[in-house]
Amino acid sequence: MTASDFKYLFLPCHKQMYWVAMRLTANTAEAEDLVQEAFMRLWLKRNDIHDLESPLSFGIRTMRNIFLDKQRRRHIEERDCDPASIVVKENSTPDSNMIAAETMQRVLLLIEKLPEQQRRIITMKDLEGYTFEQIAQQIGLSEAGVRTSLSRARQTIRQQFKTNNEDEKI
């Protein structure tokens, strides 16, 4: 597909794609970025696009998929942001260092309360840096089993951490 063919097919769709992006994101800047990213993806795949009945539908579907991918990534990043991953930075203040140390201490105490297998897995993965494969070999589980146990351990810690924080606010 040539550049002029691409412009002929997709440029008239820009306005409608923007409004769909606005409905998805409710943010002007994010909507513009989403439309731009969709056009970039369409441009990169232009040679694979043949006989489109509706360029608008194809563009919106592409944009929606990009949006959903970003949402999934955000969700995964939020889920993986465990209190156990707190790192004290060199330029941090003494107060923030103390808070981070106290938080880490609380997380370690919560880890100690986990069932034996979950405690071993989360310790090996998050504190000692073992890979899923190494943990699976040492514990005698499949990698999927290790991932499941780790996920449950993190979820338990996260819930208990939130519960403890809410109890302290009262």
61-92: pLDDT as tens digits: 899 899 888 888 776 655 555 554 445 455 56
Top pLDDT among 119 and 164 is at 119
- pLDDT for 35 equals 93
Closest CA to 89 of 77, 99, 79, 80: 99
**Burial degree of 75 (CB within 10 A; 0-12, 13-18, 19+):** exposed
Q: Are 71 and 57 in contact (CB under 8 A)?
A: no
Residues 41 and 106 grouped into a single domain: no
Residues 45 and 17 grouped into a single domain: yes
- pLDDT for 91 equals 58
**Residue 120: CB partners within 8 Å, gap ≥ 6?**
139
Distances (CA, A) of 97 to 89, 94, 104, 153: 8, 5, 10, 25
Tokens of 114: 């986990």
- pLDDT for 73 equals 78
Domain span at 114 = 97-168
> Does residue 12 carry a pLDDT above 70?
yes
Q: What is d(CA 112, CA 157) in angstroms, rounded to the nearest whole number?
A: 10
Residues 17 and 76 grouped into a single domain: yes
124-164: pLDDT as tens digits: 888 778 889 999 999 899 999 999 999 999 999 989 888 87
Residues 61 and 15 grouped into a single domain: yes
Residues 75 and 116 grouped into a single domain: no
> Does residue 38 carry a pLDDT above 90?
yes
Closest CA to 121 of 144, 140, 142, 139: 139
CATH number of the domain to which 138 belongs: 1.10.10.10
Q: What is the mean pLDDT of residues 99-111?
A: 80
Q: For tokens 């369409």, name the residue.
A: 42
- pLDDT for 84 equals 47
The amino acid that residue 156 corresponds to is T
3-state secondary structure of 54: coil
- pLDDT for 155 equals 93
87 falls within a domain: no
Q: What is d(CA 148, CA 143) in angstroms, rounded to the nearest whole number?
A: 9
The amino acid that residue 21 corresponds to is A
Our count of domains for the chain comes to: 2
90 falls within a domain: no
Residues 115 and 162 grouped into a single domain: yes
Mean pLDDT of the chain: 82
Residues 9 and 74 grouped into a single domain: yes
43 falls within a domain: yes
Q: What is d(CA 42, CA 48) in angstroms, rounded to the nearest whole number?
A: 9
- pLDDT for 23 equals 86
153 falls within a domain: yes
Residues 104 and 158 grouped into a single domain: yes
Residues 12 and 76 grouped into a single domain: yes
